[in-house]
Amino acid sequence: MQVTTFPLGPLETNCYLAEANGEALAVDPGGEPSELLAYLESSGCQLTRILITHMHFDHLYGAAALARATGAPILCPAGDEFLMQSEIGRGGLMGFPLVEDFDYEHIAEGIYEFMGCECRVLATPGHTPGSLSYYFPAGKCVFVGDLLFYRSIGRTDFPGGDMEQLLDSVRTKIFTLPPETVVYAGHMLSTTVGDEMLHNPFLSEGGL
């Protein structure tokens, strides 16, 4: 499995394109997706899924356009649906534009197969109540949205955010994965499970 990062949209949200077996999936297309579409065209991969980690506007801006261009279904956590009634979900917050409406299906914790690869969908609430992480054991990587960042954690001051829940999600769902697992975060650098277990100031031994 190969993963390419496209920082998209006004908050440079990391959109990830994963490819395997001639198929591709996109995680959190947070902006206008023309760069992503050009890449897909040159690679010859067919986009078969658009996965959303949580329903904040900066992870959703490109969803409608990407689905329209590729025909790929959009999968969103049911627990975040209420956010689409708020500015943090549908946009408008602090003058940011609105998210274009899109159709989507619900996805929940469980074991799935995407691109011929096993994907374990993990319920990782805290940043939002519905937040999901997408773990690919064979790809040795997990897409966590805004749950966990390089040396940091997601904010919990938005509607439905809960710090205790977030720390519990990281400890029980992410830090139980193999330490070499690459953590692809919604913003900034990627990291690994083992590295954050040792060095994340919010979660490491003796941390906050």
Q: Which residues bind Zn ion (CB under 5 A)?
A: 56, 146
Q: Specify the residue, 30 or 33, whose C-beta has the smaller distance to Zn ion.
A: 30
Which residue stretches of the chain are H helix? 34-43, 63-70, 87-90, 163-169, 193-199
Minimum Å distance from CB 97 to Zn ion?
Answer: 16
Query: Which of helix, strand or coil describes residue 62?
Result: coil
Return the residue nearest Zn ion (CB atom): 56
Q: Specify the residue, 49 or 56, whose C-beta has the smaller distance to Zn ion.
A: 56
Token pair listed for 92: 């408008």
Minimum Å distance from CB 19 to Zn ion?
Answer: 25
What does residue 91 show for φ and ψ, rounded to 5 degrees? 95, 175
Alpha carbons 140 and 82: distance in angstroms, whole number: 32
Minimum Å distance from CB 4 to Zn ion?
Answer: 21
Minimum Å distance from CB 170 to Zn ion?
Answer: 15
Q: Specify the residue, 56 or 173, whose C-beta has the smaller distance to Zn ion.
A: 56
**How many residues are recorded in the chain?**
208
Residues 6+ apart with CB under 8 A from 170: 124, 126, 147, 148, 153, 203
Q: Specify the residue, 79 or 139, whose C-beta has the smaller distance to Zn ion.
A: 79
